[in-house]
Amino acid sequence: MSFSSKKAAVYICLACVIAIILTSVDIILMLRGYDWDVHYFSREYSLPATILHITTAVSVVLVISAFTVLKNNKLSSVQNKPDQFTAFFSLMTGFLMSAFGLYRLYEALSGSYIFRIKYNVWGFIAAPLAILGGIYFIITSVSKEPLKRKNTIFIYFFIAFLALMVFDTYFSIDTPLNSPPRIIGMIALLSAMNYMLYEVRFLLGSPMPSRYIASAGAALILCSMSFIPLSVFSFIGKMKITSDTLLYLAGLTFTFYVAGKTLAYIKIKAVGNTKPAEENNEDKQSSIQNNQNA
């Protein structure tokens, strides 16, 4: 593994460790001092929560700085097919996204939120975007080869879905606008969008490896901080089970997908080659011809 690949691995492993620590602390603080009626931390836990969120912000900035020290030409310009770990969580993300879309469509059609026109209208829009976006992860999990340019359409559906969820969260009337989980949730969705925008560049043939690593590290921390606690609290009865629960679980599996996909990408450089075999053969043949002509 090259020196740049080792540095990239350090950044991603550091992001994973930071995500585990911060998420664990967040769950503990919310269990002990979060008021689910007003959606704020109680007075005695407001300072620890503030320190946690400042630490999260500093950690994200630290990880994002990866693109300033990593060199694009020292990292692979292609992605490999996913390993078993990544394929499993990719498949789970795809199924959960599809399930969320179907459930949200059912809620809109059944009138579960009959007095919330915005929720129903957005439900009709979000449902197909979620299902189509989920197809990308299902294809990724079962594909035996790296995905091609034609598969980018499904990434765009997923990105559009994430953008819609940002607006949905921002205009939600369920929680105060400055509620900590709500703010982190919006930022986590934006970080997931940012990661997918850099992932799609690999399929389009114009990768930016250093920024891809930076976006992956930020997504790991922020998605962990948002979706893991929400998933936990949904199943211990702190939150009502709705279609959003499936979205939280999809966010959780997406976090593991990002970790597996990025680490698998970093390992590609271990063979010290960023060009396809066909290109290397052509380069060798042209070099031999040049030597003969000389």
Q: Has residue 190 got a pLDDT over 80?
A: yes
**More confident position, 284 or 121:** 121
Does residue 278 lie within any of the structural domains? no
Dihedral sign for Cα atoms in the order 117, 118, 121, 126: negative
pLDDT of residue 282: 43
pLDDT of residue 119: 54
Which tens digit of pLDDT belongs to each residue from 191-231?
999 999 999 988 888 888 888 889 999 999 999 999 999 99
**More confident position, 101 or 270:** 101
**More confident position, 276 or 126:** 126
pLDDT of residue 114: 47
Residue 237: Cβ within 10 Å count: 8
Residue 51 belongs to what domain range?
A: 3-273
Does residue 291 lie within any of the structural domains? no
Does residue 124 lie within any of the structural domains? yes
Does residue 68 lie within any of the structural domains? yes
Written as one letter, the residue type at 8 is: A
Does residue 294 lie within any of the structural domains? no
**More confident position, 172 or 119:** 172
**Alpha-helical segments (H) within the chain:** 3-33, 43-64, 66-69, 84-110, 117-142, 152-170, 180-204, 209-235, 243-268, 277-293
**Prediction pTM value:** 0.83
pLDDT of residue 240: 82
Q: Which two tokens stand for residue 32?
A: 């002990």
pLDDT of residue 146: 66
**More confident position, 166 or 175:** 166
pLDDT band at 121 (very low <50, low <70, confident <90, very high): low
Written as one letter, the residue type at 166 is: V
Does residue 241 lie within any of the structural domains? yes
Does residue 280 lie within any of the structural domains? no
Provide the domain count of the chain: 1
Mean of per-residue pLDDT scores for the chain: 81
Asked whether 54 and 61 are in contact (CB, 8 A), the reply is no
Which tens digit of pLDDT belongs to each residue from 251-280?
999 999 999 998 888 876 534 444 443 344
pLDDT band at 127 (very low <50, low <70, confident <90, very high): confident
pLDDT of residue 115: 45
Which tens digit of pLDDT belongs to each residue from 16-38?
999 999 999 999 999 998 888 88
Does residue 210 lie within any of the structural domains? yes
